[in-house]
Amino acid sequence: MDTPEAPELSIHELDALFDQSPIAMILTDRELRTLRVNAAFRDLLGLPDEALIGRRPSQVDAAMDTDFIERTLAKQVITEGAPVFNMHLEQNVNGERRVFAWTAYRVTDNHRVLGAVGFLTDITAPIQVVMAIQQANARLNLLQRAGSEIGTTLDIHHTAEELAALAVPELADWVTVDLLDPILRGEDPLSACPGTMRFRRVAIRDATAGATISFAVGDLITVPPTGQPIAKFSQGESLLARNPAEIRQAGLPPEDVRALLDRGVHTLMLVPLIARGVTLGVAGLARAEHPEPYDEADVRLVSDMAERAAVHIDNARLYTREHDAAVILQRSLLPRAIAPVPGLEVAYRYQPAVRAAEIGGDWFDVIPLDHGQVALVVGDVTGHGISAAAIMGQLRTTTAALARLGTPPQEIMRQLSRLVAAHGDEAGATCLYALYDPATRRCRLASAGHPPPVLRDPDGAARLIDLPPGLLLGAGPARYPAIDCHLAPCTVLAMYTDGLVERPGEDIGAGMTRLASALASGPAPSLDDLCDSVLASLAPRRRDDVALLLARTCPM
């Protein structure tokens, strides 16, 4: 069966196909002069025929990179015969960005180059959807990172620096974090803004190395009560300046505005740091190199990040305040000075833990008694914070009172155990009590769950005293057996709390062995020097409280 011949298309039909195509089409000669465009092309670019026909791409005001288009057509399409497929072109008209997919290929007739044909498709909408998805994913990623990268320490300055580091360069080219000055002085933040607000700059981050801007960490920024930021911050609102004109009208100090504009900043946002309903400070984010202005979505994202940072900053503030209060209370309850004791040289050290959560109830005392005797006491209340320090104060006062009444060490421990038990099942304490008589050199020792003391003999050898540990104070009725030992002249008795010898994941016995070695090493120095060398060797970082009491017997 013969195959029917395909009918030929007339010029009229080809014209209709070209003109009625919904895809924007353009036909040029080999010199890249426009021969013909269809209605879709004219509508897409918004240009009439007379602005296009007979002109090369570089001669058309199409608000896009026509020089690039012409170079690509001349070299790649016409000369090399390599087509262009879906190359993205951008057009900006009155601030509106449009994206086109451009396809072009060479047109030939029996190997003779006639020109080129091109197609444009507006893909702005799908590109915007893709960009919106990418932006949403990036913002979600930033929020996830904020959860793990902000607040890694209980340090106000470090937390502010973490917020600034997270924002640059993803969100900003330049970031500052300013906190209310009262917070950094340990005072309560202002719950309202009745007057002038004073901020202290605590963190700065700039994406451009070597960029000059007249701001520095430690600067004091004063914002008057009539300023626009005050009104917004007092209501928990952010300030958004989308362009330089709005930056000038934002109510910032004139010198700050000049510095920002000199840096090239074209868009700015100021977001308050609010925790528990109280404004703690403000984060300022600005863009200079980044071309896009900030919008409300950016403000919402930064507000979420700022909220997380503010909670950590407030936690650090409260943590630091509790630390300072616990240290002040504990130091006030410890002996301020040790009265001289005939026949005994005494040195002591107390060091609070570096972290507030570890401030506990470590204590010591030297109590002169009748007939030249002296009581040496070291104890440690379980738990941490102000409550532990308060129990410690009660134990020290009670111990001194009982010792001055001549109460034997065993009975003192029983009385202290009842006192601790009265604070509830969660309370507990350890205690080591030594009653020394310089006249007889007899030392009577009793322990309630406390690490044993160390003796350094006159020849420099050091050893742990084998002392029954007894039951923890507050753990219930118990007996606290006491032992007697004789202390020769120039013998050093070392009493301490477990913070000196404990290390995470290690048996406490290893720490006590290190203590004996530290006491035994070298010739006998002064007791003060010996205290310092022991602390430097065993407790350089002080994860827990440390109390150390050294007593050296003197010839009578």
For the stretch 127-159, pLDDT in tens is: 888 877 777 777 777 777 877 778 788 888 888
| Edge-first strand listing for the sheet containing 278-287 | 220-223, 197-206, 174-180, 278-287, 267-275, 239-241
Q: Is residue 140 part of a domain?
A: no
**Residue in the block written with tokens 């690509």:** 72
CA 486 to chain centre: 55
**Averaged over 248-263, what is the pLDDT?**
84
Backbone angles phi, psi at 48, to 5 degrees: -80, 170
**Residue in the block written with tokens 């310092």:** 532
Q: Specify the higher pLDDT residue, 311 or 476.
A: 311
CB 527 within 8 A of CB 492: yes
| Residues 6 or more apart whose Cβ sits within 8 Å of residue 496 | 378, 451, 453, 454, 515, 546, 547, 548, 549
Closest C-alpha among 371, 350, 375 to residue 361: 350
Measured between alpha carbons, how far is 369 from 355 in angstroms, rounded to an integer? 37
Read off the CATH number of the domain in which 372 is found: 3.60.40.10
Closest C-alpha among 498, 506, 432, 521 to residue 469: 432
**342 shares a domain with 311:** no
Q: Which residues pair with 473 in a beta bridge?
A: 429
What is the sign of the dihedral through the CA atoms of 410, 412, 413 and 415?
positive
Backbone angles phi, psi at 165, to 5 degrees: -65, -35
Q: Which residues pair with 35 in a beta bridge?
A: none
Domain end call among 274, 301, 323: 323
Helix ranges restricted to H, 235-360 = 244-248, 254-262, 296-333
pLDDT confidence tier of residue 192, bands split at 50, 70 and 90:
very low
**Averaged over 283-299, what is the pLDDT?**
90
**Residue in the block written with tokens 């700039």:** 206
**166 shares a domain with 107:** no
| Edge-first strand listing for the sheet containing 112-122 | 34-37, 24-29, 112-122, 96-109, 84-93
pLDDT confidence tier of residue 207, bands split at 50, 70 and 90:
confident
pLDDT confidence tier of residue 379, bands split at 50, 70 and 90:
very high
In this prediction, residue 332 carries a pLDDT of: 64
In this prediction, residue 334 carries a pLDDT of: 66
Q: Specify the higher pLDDT residue, 329 or 110.
A: 110
In this prediction, residue 436 carries a pLDDT of: 95
**394 shares a domain with 345:** yes
Angle at 472 between CA 536 and CA 497, to 5 degrees: 10
| Residues 6 or more apart whose Cβ sits within 8 Å of residue 210 | none
Whether 543 has a pLDDT exceeding 90, the answer reads no
**Averaged over 385-403, what is the pLDDT?**
85
Measured between alpha carbons, how far is 466 from 484 in angstroms, rounded to an integer? 11
**343 shares a domain with 316:** no
Measured between alpha carbons, how far is 251 from 247 in angstroms, rounded to an integer? 8
CA 31 to chain centre: 62
Label residues 154-169 b or e (16+ Cβ within 10 Å = b).
bbbbbbbbbbbebbbe
**Averaged over 291-312, what is the pLDDT?**
89
pLDDT confidence tier of residue 9, bands split at 50, 70 and 90:
low
Read off the CATH number of the domain in which 305 is found: 3.30.450.40
How many structural domains compose the chain? 3
Distances (CA, A) of 263 to 79, 180, 267, 349: 46, 25, 11, 53
**64 shares a domain with 156:** no
Domain end call among 303, 323, 343: 323
Measured between alpha carbons, how far is 314 from 331 in angstroms, rounded to an integer? 26
In this prediction, residue 356 carries a pLDDT of: 45
In this structure, the dihedral spanned by the alpha carbons of residues 55, 60, 65 and 69, taken in order and rounded to 10 degrees, is -20
Measured between alpha carbons, how far is 387 from 441 in angstroms, rounded to an integer? 38
Q: Is residue 186 part of a domain?
A: yes
CB 339 within 8 A of CB 346: no
Q: Is residue 478 part of a domain?
A: yes
Measured between alpha carbons, how far is 495 from 380 in angstroms, rounded to an integer? 12
Q: Specify the higher pLDDT residue, 520 or 10.
A: 520
Mean pLDDT of the chain: 84
Q: If residue 106 lies in a helix (H) or strand (E), which one and from where to where? A: strand 96-109
Measured between alpha carbons, how far is 379 from 448 in angstroms, rounded to an integer? 9
In this prediction, residue 505 carries a pLDDT of: 80
Q: Is residue 217 part of a domain?
A: yes
**202 shares a domain with 166:** yes
In this prediction, residue 191 carries a pLDDT of: 47
Measured between alpha carbons, how far is 40 from 529 in angstroms, rounded to an integer? 92
**Residue in the block written with tokens 């058309």:** 60
**Averaged over 174-191, what is the pLDDT?**
78
pLDDT confidence tier of residue 194, bands split at 50, 70 and 90:
low
**234 shares a domain with 99:** no
Q: For 326-363, write each residue's pLDDT tens digit.
A: 666 666 666 777 778 888 999 998 887 665 445 567 88
Q: Is residue 240 part of a domain?
A: yes
**348 shares a domain with 463:** yes
**307 shares a domain with 199:** yes
**39 shares a domain with 166:** no
**Residue in the block written with tokens 């190997």:** 111
Q: Residue 91 sits in which domain range?
A: 11-122
In this prediction, residue 330 carries a pLDDT of: 64
Q: Specify the higher pLDDT residue, 537 or 209.
A: 537
pLDDT confidence tier of residue 541, bands split at 50, 70 and 90:
low
In this prediction, residue 414 carries a pLDDT of: 93
Q: For 475-493, write each residue's pLDDT tens digit.
A: 888 889 999 999 999 999 9
Read off the CATH number of the domain in which 93 is found: 3.30.450.20
**77 shares a domain with 159:** no
Q: Is residue 128 part of a domain?
A: no
pLDDT confidence tier of residue 546, bands split at 50, 70 and 90:
confident
Q: Is residue 527 part of a domain?
A: yes
**Averaged over 55-82, what is the pLDDT?**
91
Measured between alpha carbons, how far is 257 from 214 in angstroms, rounded to an integer? 11
CB 456 within 8 A of CB 494: yes
pLDDT confidence tier of residue 104, bands split at 50, 70 and 90:
very high
Q: For 428-468, write each residue's pLDDT tens digit.
A: 899 999 999 999 999 999 999 999 999 999 888 999 999 99
**209 shares a domain with 339:** no
Domain end call among 282, 298, 323: 323
Exposed, middle or buried: residue 255 (CB in 10 Å: 0-12, 13-18, 19+)? Answer: exposed
**Averaged over 517-529, what is the pLDDT?**
81
